[in-house]
């Protein structure tokens, strides 16, 4: 029988590592050396990082990169991106430069409504529950004034609370479906605090009625939703079809039509749509992570939105009208520029400075553009040279590092692969030739 480790979180960092050395690491000396190599020499900064999470023993580094030349709503940006995939930043930068010369990107926030729910069961009649709710609805607003005061000063707060009958799906299941405006904060803690107070008010008010002594309310949970279909941003680019790429193999019109076909396929074929949208999220996640936002919440909400009609499909769209090519994205993004890591992590603060201190709506617009640019770059490669040519060129350095190539060998390999397709086997063969 496995033995439970008691009090692990109370051990010091050194003690945690000693425990791992005893139970898991094979090469103890090397393992400890790797962990300590990534400790920050600035003691205070290291302590700050360790307090972001539980049981920290080291830091896990990802590249902090810049994609320049983004023109968004007539304002130029250099986008911070935190990602380990080698071709993403290059692709975003290439797309940004292409559209900078064609008027740039436009973006607008359509709505910023966020959602939370109190899930509960009730074994009485819905009409009686509804009568009670309508009579006491105002109490949910007045009973949370201490929680909402500061948010209301900034222009946010509770927007609405609705009683939802879900008993057709699960017998006796109901919910308070609540909407919020959190302004420049992502707002998770604010929303969850309000929801838990709503649950307390629901139970307290119901105890004052004899009716509820026979028909009981049981609160299951109170939690925000990461599905925010009414927290929407739209971004697009547009140009004359004649201004699109034109080669001997593919005319500008042929390019536009083939591009549209590629997006249309992702509208009807889920197998393609998932990879299509993953490419969009390459750009979005990298910027969300760099700005200290919750990329996991964004991912979950975005993919739910992509399947909102019952079929998973593309988040981007193409129209060809009056000799004009328009490429657009409409996407839910619940982001914040205050609170959380935005005021704690030094690189997050730097990222927001690079973006010229955006508010939440501006960050939503910039992030949607990052996703659109990434998708444009991917489709451009797919319909012309193929995805692997550019991707493997960018991946070359990873291959060379894995083969422990010297600086001289790397230089010769880069020169060689300027004219040759990149592959792992070819890199191995080249290094063997150079070394012999």
Q: In this structure, how many other beta carbons lie within 10 angstroms of the beta carbon of residue 20? A: 15
What's the rounded mean pLDDT across residues 361-388?
A: 93
DSSP result, 114-182: EEEEEEEEE-S-HHHHHHHHHHHHHHHHHTTHHHHHHHHHTT-EEEEEEEEE-TTTSTTEEEEEEEEE-
What's the rounded mean pLDDT across residues 352-375?
A: 98
Which ranges in 291-337 belong to alpha helices (H)? 295-306
What's the rounded mean pLDDT across residues 283-293?
A: 97
Is residue 294 flagged as an active site residue? Answer: yes
Q: In this structure, how many other beta carbons lie within 10 angstroms of the beta carbon of residue 144? A: 20
Between 405 and 32, whose confidence is greater? 32
Which pLDDT value is given to residue 390?
57
Whether CATH 3.90.550.10 fits 114-225: no
Please, which residues bridge with residue 218 across strands?
Answer: 121
Three-state DSSP state, 294: coil
The answer to whether residue 391 scores a pLDDT higher than 70 is no
pLDDT band (50, 70, 90) for residue 370: very high
Active site residue: 114, 119, 313, 391, which one?
Answer: 391
Contact 403, 422 (CB under 8 A): no
Ranking 211-215, 241-245, 326-330 by mean pLDDT, the lowest is: 211-215
Contact 263, 379 (CB under 8 A): yes
pLDDT band (50, 70, 90) for residue 418: confident
Domain boundaries, the chain: 8-50, 69-111+232-384, 114-225, 391-435
Ranking 54-63, 79-88, 150-159, 396-405 by mean pLDDT, the lowest is: 396-405
Is residue 160 flagged as an active site residue? Answer: no
Active site residue: 285, 294, 361, 362, which one?
Answer: 294
Which pLDDT value is given to residue 251?
96
Between 418 and 166, whose confidence is greater? 166
The answer to whether residue 393 scores a pLDDT higher than 80 is no
- Closest C-alpha to 314, from 259, 262, 387, 365: 262
pLDDT band (50, 70, 90) for residue 123: very high
What's the rounded mean pLDDT across residues 328-338?
A: 97
The answer to whether residue 328 scores a pLDDT higher than 70 is yes
Ranking 133-137, 151-155, 205-209, 265-269 by mean pLDDT, the lowest is: 205-209
Which pLDDT value is given to residue 414?
81
Active site residue: 18, 85, 108, 269, which one?
Answer: 85
pLDDT band (50, 70, 90) for residue 260: very high
Ranking 23-32, 218-227, 236-245, 322-331 by mean pLDDT, the lowest is: 23-32
Q: Tens digit of pLDDT for each residue in 98-110?
A: 999 999 999 999 9
Is residue 85 flagged as an active site residue? Answer: yes
What's the rounded mean pLDDT across residues 340-344?
A: 86
Q: Assign 3-class secondary structure to 177-222.
A: EEEEECCCECCHHHHHHHHHHHHHHHHHHHCCCCHHHHCCEEEEEE
Active site residue: 136, 278, 303, 412, which one?
Answer: 278
What's the rounded mean pLDDT across residues 422-436?
A: 83
User: What is the token pair recorded at 53?
Assistant: 């999470």
Distance, CA of 181 to CA of 159 (rounded, Å) = 7
Round the average pLDDT of the chain to a whole number and report it.
93
Is residue 330 flagged as an active site residue? Answer: no
Q: Classify domain 69-111+232-384 at the CATH class level.
A: alpha beta
pLDDT band (50, 70, 90) for residue 392: low
Distance, CA of 392 to CA of 395 (rounded, Å) = 5
The answer to whether residue 397 scores a pLDDT higher than 80 is no
pLDDT band (50, 70, 90) for residue 68: very high
């Amino acid at each position: 029988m496995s033995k439970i480790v008691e009090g692990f979180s109370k051990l010091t960092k050194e003690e945690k590592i000693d425990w791992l050395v005893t139970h898991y690491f094979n090469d103890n000396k090397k393992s400890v050396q790797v962990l300590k190599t990534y400790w920050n020499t600035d003691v205070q900064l290291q302590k700050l990082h360790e307090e972001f999470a539980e049981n920290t023993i080291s830091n896990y580094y990802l590249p902090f990169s810049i994609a320049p030349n983004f023109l968004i709503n007539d304002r130029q940006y250099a986008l911070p991106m935190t990602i380990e995939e080698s071709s993403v930043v290059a692709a975003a930068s290439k797309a940004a430069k292409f559209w900078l010369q064609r008027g740039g990107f436009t973006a607008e926030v359509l709505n910023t409504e966020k959602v939370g729910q109190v899930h509960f069961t009730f074994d009485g009649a819905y009409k009686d529950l509804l009568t009670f709710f309508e009579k006491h609805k105002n109490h949910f607003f007045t009973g949370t004034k201490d929680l909402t005061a500061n948010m209301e000063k900034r222009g946010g707060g509770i927007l609405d609370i609705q009683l939802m009958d879900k008993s057709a799906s699960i017998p006796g299941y109901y919910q308070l479906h609540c909407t919020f405006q959190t302004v420049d904060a992502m707002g998770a803690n604010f929303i969850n605090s309000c929801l838990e107070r709503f649950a307390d008010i629901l139970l307290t008010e119901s105890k004052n009625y004899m009716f509820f002594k026979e028909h009981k309310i049981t609160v299951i949970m109170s939690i925000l939703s990461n599905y925010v279909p009414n927290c929407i941003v739209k971004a697009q680019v547009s140009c004359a079809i004649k201004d699109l790429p034109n080669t001997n193999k593919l005319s500008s019109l042929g390019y536009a039509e083939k591009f549209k076909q590629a997006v249309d396929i992702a509208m009807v074929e889920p197998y393609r749509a998932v990879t299509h949208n993953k490419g969009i999220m390459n750009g979005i996640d990298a910027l969300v992570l760099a700005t200290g936002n919750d990329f996991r919440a964004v991912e979950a909400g975005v993919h739910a939105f992509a399947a909102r009609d019952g079929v998973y499909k593309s988040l981007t769209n193409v129209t060809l009208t009056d000799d004009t090519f328009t490429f657009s994205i409409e996407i839910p993004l619940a982001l914040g520029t205050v609170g959380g890591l935005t005021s704690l992590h030094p690189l997050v603060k730097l990222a927001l400075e690079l973006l010229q201190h955006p508010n939440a709506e501006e960050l939503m617009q910039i992030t949607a553009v990052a996703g659109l640019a990434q998708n444009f770059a991917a489709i451009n490669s797919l319909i012309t040279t193929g995805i692997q040519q550019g991707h493997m060129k960018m991946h070359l350095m990873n291959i060379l590092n894995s083969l422990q190539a010297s600086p001289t060998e790397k230089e010769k390999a880069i020169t060689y692969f300027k004219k040759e397709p990149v592959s792992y086997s070819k890199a191995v063969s080249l290094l063997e030739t150079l070394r012999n």
